[in-house]
Amino acid sequence: MPATPLQLGARGKPCKILLATEMVCSYANIMVRQDLYDSGINSVEKLADYKRPDGAKPIVAATAIGSGTWVFGTYVFEARGLGDRVNWVAGGGPNTMFPSLQTKQFDAIMAPPSWIVEVEKKGFGRTIYDTSKPGVFEKDFGGALPVLVIYTLQDTVEQDKALVQAYVNAIYRAMAFVKAAPLAEVQALVTPKYFSGIDPDAVSAELGFDKSTWAYDGVIDKPAFERGAKPWYRKGTDIPETKYEDVVDMSFLQAARAKYK
């Protein structure tokens, strides 16, 4: 997410964001324990109303406090006026998240598409907030916004523009391939290097989300960037407020789009 280039800038390493790939967050999905889902807790509001056996608020796990899953997850609840109705904890990766959901230590977890497949296959939980469904993310966040971006140090832009342009060209062309190619072809190409040994259905879910939601034009306009202000610039995020003009540079993308029409 744009947090890294914004944080680097605040620490004396100014960056330029060059283009976006993801404008709808793939890891803002929320899953609840299977038994809670079976009892009728099938929405964010119903989860917020739930009380644990000791009367405590429901426990929702992000990968880490301050992480992207935490930033987007907490905002979903805050946007609906439910921010004070849940307790957030750091859950780590799947090796800790899944067992903790199964053993009822966590009532809900934030989950990317591949986790959804694995959790539902194991019977540990069900999805109650799914950003792959049209309009779900946009309803709470006001529209699309930069979630995953390509960026570089400002020094690199100044010292080697040709290198930056070549890199942006390559990313733009790769995105065009992903858009045009069948999902199975994309999966076959990247699996040996990046997804070896992972459940193929989980890989399909992850790649399928990207293929169906990516912003293939790569463009980050000012309104989209400013929509990110609400989830980014909040207590606990450690993301400094930054002007669009100071950090976004679309010139390399514009050149790539002109070259590869």
29-130: same fold as 3-25+141-259?
Answer: yes
Confidence of residue 1 (pLDDT cuts 50, 70, 90): low
d(CA 64, CA 50): 23
Rounded Cα distance between 108 and 111, Å, is 9
CATH (one of 3.40.190.10, 1.20.120.1460, 1.10.1370.40, 3.30.2420.10) for 29-130 = 3.40.190.10
Across all residues in the chain, what is the average pLDDT?
94
Q: What is the pLDDT of residue 183?
A: 95
Q: What is the pLDDT of residue 128?
A: 98
122-136 average pLDDT score = 95
Does 8 score more than 90 pLDDT?
Answer: no
Per-residue pLDDT at 91: 96
As a whole number, mean pLDDT of residues 43-66 equals 96
> Residue 110 pLDDT more than 70?
yes
In terms of C-beta distances under 8 Å and separation of at least 24 residues, what long-range contacts does 39-45 make, across chains too?
A: 41/128, 42/126, 42/128, 43/128, 44/76, 44/77, 44/80, 44/82, 44/128, 44/129, 45/80, 45/82
* Mean pLDDT in residue range 130-141: 93
Domain 3-25+141-259 has CATH 2.40.50.250: no
Q: How confident is the model at residue 238 (pLDDT cuts 50, 70, 90)?
A: confident
pLDDT single digits (tens) 29-48 = 999 999 999 999 999 999 99
AA identity, residue 170? A
Q: Taking residues 41-62, what's their average pLDDT?
A: 97
Instruction: Please state, in angstroms and rounded to a whole number, the distance separating the CA atoms of residues 252 and 167.
Output: 9
Looking at residues 184-213, what average pLDDT do you find? 92
Domain ranges in the chain are 3-25+141-259, 29-130
Distance between CA atoms of residues 1 and 228, nearest Å? 10
- Please tell me the predicted confidence (pLDDT) of residue 16: 96
- In the chain, the amino acid numbered 89 is V
